[in-house]
Amino acid sequence: MPRTYVLTNHKGGVGKSTSATNIALGLAAVLRQAKAKNSRVLLIDTDSQAHATLVTTGRNDYGPQDSLYSVLMADRQSASQTLANCIVPSTWDEDLHVLPGSPLLEQAERELQGTAGAPYRIADPLAKIASGYAAGVIDTRPSFSLMTEMALIAATDAIIPIEPRYLETVGLLIVITKINEIREGWRIPNLRVRGILVTKMDKRVKGHHHLLSEIKSHPMLGKLLIGIIPMNEAVSYAHRNHRSIFAYDPQAAASQAYARLIARLVRQGGN
């Protein structure tokens, strides 16, 4: 199974979709530049708001026949073919493919509550088509719902984006505990916390420096810090225009920070 990164946090507004989309694009670009045999990356949008889908495909009107909802509602035997049929090309890069999200995911979650095997409704069909991709990236909603549980079970590496806010370390420990509970409870040995990604870091704000220092000095969290994305207006403008940060302004501080993060992920590989 290729490395599959899931961006997750139970809080909203921390840059999950922005990070998921730009990491997915960056992985495809770096692998292609390295002349890898396979540089295709699959972005899976499990958030019913479908922001990742909108910015990478220009659409947010995917529905019962052409979105992740279709996969979740399919018979187990046909789910992998349904998944393959629902994947669409992104407008960002020929090697970036998207399994679109949909507002119908809220309905799917309600219908699947208590259904045997529901947490594996993404992992099982994904495993059957994963060999066609070099990596996967999963965007999640800001909650630990059944949909997020599905995303974690389908992943190998969890990345936790956070804003540098007061008491954020307490929230981080809660998220890490939840991920480990899913890993142990569902016996998913490949799932691990890859790292913490600090987003919207503003060097002018003392509180941001305090939080960052708190994370760095923590005996466990300090070892998990894998990147710091600075507060940068280019990120907002790029998102608003449905473009990647790399295409919108490759020289922006945020572009360079994401590039360093992606290089680190590629370098670490399966380690």
Nearest to 71 by CA among 30, 95, 100: 100
Burial of 9 (0-12, 13-18, 19+ CB in 10 A): buried
For residue 40, give the 3-state DSSP assignment: coil
Task: Please give the share of the chain, as a percent, with pLDDT higher than 70.
Answer: 98
- Give the pLDDT score at 269: 76
Token reading at 72: 């979740």
Look at residue 271 and tell me whether its pLDDT is greater than 80: no
pTM of the predicted model as reported, rounded to 2 decimal places: 0.96
Give me the pLDDT at residue 167, please: 64
Q: Which positions ≥6 away from 173 have C-beta within 8 Å?
A: 221
User: How far apart are alpha carbons 24 and 235 in whole angstroms?
Assistant: 15
Q: How many separate helices (H) and strands (E) can be counted in the chain?
A: 13, 8
Q: 264 falls in which pLDDT band (50, 70, 90)?
A: very high
Whole-number pLDDT of residue 268? 86
Please give the average per-residue pLDDT across 186-206, as a whole number.
94
According to DSSP, the residues that pair with 139 across neighbouring strands are 7, 45
Average pLDDT value over all residues in the chain: 94
Beta strands in 104-252 (DSSP E): 135-139, 157-162, 192-201, 225-230
Tell me the mean pLDDT in the region 103-126: 94
Q: How far apart are CA 256 and CA 23, in angstroms?
A: 12
pLDDT(3) > 60: yes
Q: What is the 3-state secondary structure (H, E, C) of 70-89?
A: HHHHCCCCCHHHHHHHHCEE
Rounded-to-integer distance, Cα 38 and Cα 167, Å? 42
- Which pLDDT score, from 0 to 100, does residue 169 have? 82
Q: What band does 253 get if pLDDT is binned at 50, 70 and 90?
A: very high
Residue 25 has a CB neighbour count (10 Å cut-off) of: 25
| Number of Cβ within a 10 Å radius of residue 119 | 22
Q: Which amino acid is it at 154?
A: A
pLDDT of residue 114: 86
Confidence check: pLDDT of 252 > 60: yes
- Residue 229 is encoded by which pair of tokens? 């994305």
Which residue has 């360079």 as its token pair? 256
Cα separation, 137 vs 41, whole angstroms: 8
**270: pLDDT strictly greater than 60:** no
| pLDDT for the residue 170 | 85
